[in-house]
Structure formats: structure tokens, C-alpha cells
A and B are shown apart, each in its own frame.
Chain A
Amino acid sequence: MALTLDGDAALVRETALKFFRERAPVTALRKLRDEKDPTGFSTALWRDMAALGWAGFLVSEEYGGSDFGCVGLGQVLEAAGRTLAATPLISTALIGASAFSLAGSAAQKRAHLPALAGGERVVALALEEGTHHAPFRIATAARQSGNGWRLDGEKRFVLDGQVADLLIVAARTAGSRDEPQGITLFLVPGDAKGVVRTRTVMVDSRNAAVMRFNGIELGEDAVLGQVDAGAEILDRVLDRARAGLAAEMLGSACEAFERTVQYLKDRKQFGVPIGSARSS
């Protein structure tokens, strides 16, 4: 793996930097925040990002994506971080696409990936149940019910949860609360009967929701991957998610640093630029 970008990735980087500067500067996020926009992001912007192929970077060509890969998606995420752009990149293009690509059956991929890559379906991973990241600490339970499953429990901090068309819910089908073994991933429509979602307003003005699952009835085909073996999928999906989050934060950190350095040169106090003082 080279540590410099190849031509294609460099082009994506340039395009993305320009795109977010022009189409989603920081003022766009503030507007969503101040107007209490119910979706929390611009669906028109997301559709345009999908048209550029970004929603399908981790989706294979067979299902409407480009398989361009994580490095390419990382460029887009870093650019989005520079303007604090609110988009479902992490929830859908990164986590959702990865979960289906790594664990979906052909039928599940066919049913969801083309719409995901087309910017028409937002996916949210409902994983956390406490206040600190603990991916295998799961009490939300799925019990066998007839030919399918019945889901009960509560999830917190679900990114894009309140607007997601489809949820990927990590539930326990076996084992004790902290065991990785016995976790199963279930596909749940966002508007399924028994799903209660409450949006939480967070300090970063992005989307996060609390969700209650009250006796959701699911078929066998709702299982993503193998029963009891969801932890392995989560491990791989979360690895990508952490790298993607780091890319976004890198963009924000670089932008904040560059603006600060510029301010030190521009801002004058007592007749001199403040950056010229040894200590202030």
C-alpha cells in the first residue's frame, strides 16, 4: 500500500474539496441547525454526491457501485470534515455499504445496495446501548417467534437513526450481555411497527437518535449474515468506520489549524498582527 495517492484518488480529493467548499460550507450546517431542519442534512446534496459515485464507493459494480474503495471514500470524508458537512456518508456509504458487502446475501444486496448507491436509501447501524462505546455489550434481544424473530430493546446514539429508511440492529440471540458470541444483525425497516425513534440534538448539530424496539416481528430473511455470528461482521465494519471517522476528523482539524494560522496573521491588536507576539 503506497502512502501517496494515485491519480484517481487525487482527483476524487480535489473534486470533493471543491464540492464541499461550494455546496456545503460551514454556513450550511449552521442553517440546518438554526432552522431545526427535520432531516438534519440536505437530501438534494446527498443525491448529487451519489451521482458523483461517492455513495457507492464501497458497493460493487454488480449492485450499482464502483468498488472504488476505502481510500477514495476517505478523501471524500476528509473533505466533508473540512466544512463540517452533514451527510449520511458515515452511516450509509461507509457503515451500511460495508455491512451489506461483507455479510449480505445476494438477495439482500440486490434489494438494498442499488438504492443505497443511488442516494435513495439511508441506512443506520443501531448498536450502542450505553454511554460509552461498547459494541458487544448488548441486551437488546431477538427471540424466535413462529418462523421468524421478535425484537425488543433500546439503542442510543444511532447515527442518522431518525431518518434512516433501513436499520441494522445488533441484537442478542444467545449468550450473556457482554459476550461477543451470540450477537445477530437484523435488517429492520425504519418505519416498522413497534419502532419508536427520538431525535437527540447533539453538540455537533449532527443526527443521532434514541430508539425503542417494542416487539418488532421479523422474518428469517431479516438476518444479516449468520445467527449468533454478528460480532465478526461488526469488528470488520467498525474497523472501517473508525478509519472513516478519523479521516473526517483529520479534515476538521486541518481546517481549524489553517484558519487559526491565517487569523494570527490577519488579526491586529495594539497595532501589530497577534501572531507576531511571543506570548499573549
Chain B
Amino acid sequence: MFKYYGTELNKRKFELLLACAGTQALGWEGEGFAADELRIAREWLRSKANSIEGGTSEIQLNIIAKRVLGLPD
């Protein structure tokens, strides 16, 4: 459950950061951006993989259904 919720929340966090920072969050490297602005685009991209690696969100929900709610296989 923590894996599912944490990764989905992380994705939402970076979507929100992007929406707030606008074009300043879309820099890749170099001039015109602060150091923590440059991290946003890269971490936003990386966060998309969080809900796939280590068992996808869909699989996590299957596991929750079986173990926590006791639903059949």
C-alpha cells in the first residue's frame, strides 16, 4: 500500500511542481535556470518510472485486493 500510495503521490507532486514553475521547470542544463529548477524536469521524468518499477501500481492493487481485502485469485 505504501509503495502504491507513495509512488502515485510522488508523480502528483512533480506534476504540481511543473504546473507551478512553468517554463522554469522545463530547463535541462545551462544558463537561465537555478540549480533546483534544473532538477525538476529530470526528477519529474524519473518519477514516472516509480509506479512501474518494483511491481507496477496495477500489480500493487491486485496484491492489495487479494491479501488485504481477501478477494479470490
Contact = CB atoms under 8 A, between A and B. Distances in A.
Scoring A128, A203, A210 by chain B CB atoms within 10 A of each residue's CB, the highest score goes to: A203
B26 A202 contact: yes
Interface in B8-55: 21-24, 26-33, 41, 45
Interface residues of B, number: 18
Contact of B23 (A157, A199, A205, A279): A157
A131 B24 contact: yes
Contacts of A210: 31-32
Sort chain A's interface into a size bin.
10 to 19
Contact of B27 (A128, A130, A202): A202
A106 B59 CA distance: 64
Contact of B22 (A131, A199, A201): A131
B56 A131 contact: no
Contact of A200 (B22, B27, B45, B59): B27
Contact of A201 (B24, B30, B58, B62): B30
Interface of B: 21-24, 26-33, 41, 45, 56, 58-59, 62
> What are the 8 closest A-B residue pairs judged by CB atoms, nearest first?
A131-B22, A200-B32, A132-B22, A203-B41, A201-B30, A279-B58, A201-B28, A203-B28
